[in-house]
Structure 1
Amino acid sequence: MTSKPHLAVEANKKSVKYASEGNKEAWLALYAEDALVADPVGVSPMDPAGEGHRGIAAIEQFWDTVIGPSNIQIRVEKRWISGDYCCCVAQVARNDLGDGKYADCDMLAVYEVNEEGLITRMQAHWDFDQLMTQIAAAAG
């Protein structure tokens, strides 16, 4: 019996690939028009209201201010699927700070897709303050 690929897993794999490559257009094309990105979930300097970034224009702005300027490599240790969701357990975004210095952002990321495989919701759970502590220590 052949099983077809899980749409949310495929969306996560493509998202990781395109973000690591810096491929903005391909990354944005993964999202539904009214999608929500919460990265990180909750209030942060990137999302002062803690409501996430809804719609392609807001998600593009998130790319332009967070993902695009960074030099990241993302790996996922394990993916759990349930319905239209993919939960990426122990997903790590390694930020290259230059001069051989790195900051690793450990996260749990949840992807939800529609029937076309477009991401309708992506929520990344990670500790903003912990990442800033790593970056400050590397700069110090």
Structure 2
Amino acid sequence: MTAEAMRAAMQRYIELVDAGDVDGILALYADDARVEDPVGTPPLIGRTAIERFYHKGLGRNKVHAHLTGPVRVAGNCAAMPFCIELEWDGQPCTIRVIDVMEFNEDGRFQSMKAYWGVDNLELR
């Protein structure tokens, strides 16, 4: 997979999160993918667990997402800094995140790790 194709997939992911398009997001993942969001929590493995995660996160909140810097590519992985704006316990907030995706041979996300914590949550 080319660096350009990985960058395009990462940009597409942000667009789909911003649109709340869970089906579109799931199409980017391999069937046996792993998601660790945030890093340090038990990983979600497989389409069913990942689908539940996105429906829960995007379904309850009006989420807006946008890149805050360029997508970086190394080997079969890509990383990107971005912000998510949403309501956290009824309070508008922004979360600054860095996602790292590992791509499989088919160009789909094999794994996603989201680096963020409470220090990255800004109440508005």
TM-score range relative to shorter protein: 0.7 to 0.9
Distance 1:9 1:96 in 2: 28
Partner of 1:57: 48
Query: Sequence identity, in percent?
Result: 26
2:60 is paired with a residue of what secondary structure?
coil
Distance 1:67 1:128 in 2: 19
Q: Taking structure 2 as the reference length, what is the TM-score of the superposition?
A: 0.84
Q: Give 5+ residue unaligned stretches, structure 1.
A: 43-49
Q: Taking structure 1 as the reference length, what is the TM-score of the superposition?
A: 0.75
User: For residues 4-43 of structure 1, what are the structure 2 equivalents within 5 Å?
Assistant: 6-42=4-40
RMSD: 2.3
Distance 2:120 2:72 in 1: 25
Partner of 2:107: 117
User: For residues 80-91 of structure 1, what are the structure 2 equivalents within 5 Å?
Assistant: 80-89=72-81, 91=82
Runs of 4+ in 1 over 2 A off after TM superposition: 4-8, 128-131
Q: Give 5+ residue unaligned stretches, structure 2.
A: none
Contact 1:8 1:111 in 2 (8 A): no
The higher radius of gyration belongs to: 1
Contact 1:37 1:52 in 2 (8 A): yes
2:61 is paired with a residue of what secondary structure?
coil
Query: How many aligned positions are there?
Result: 121
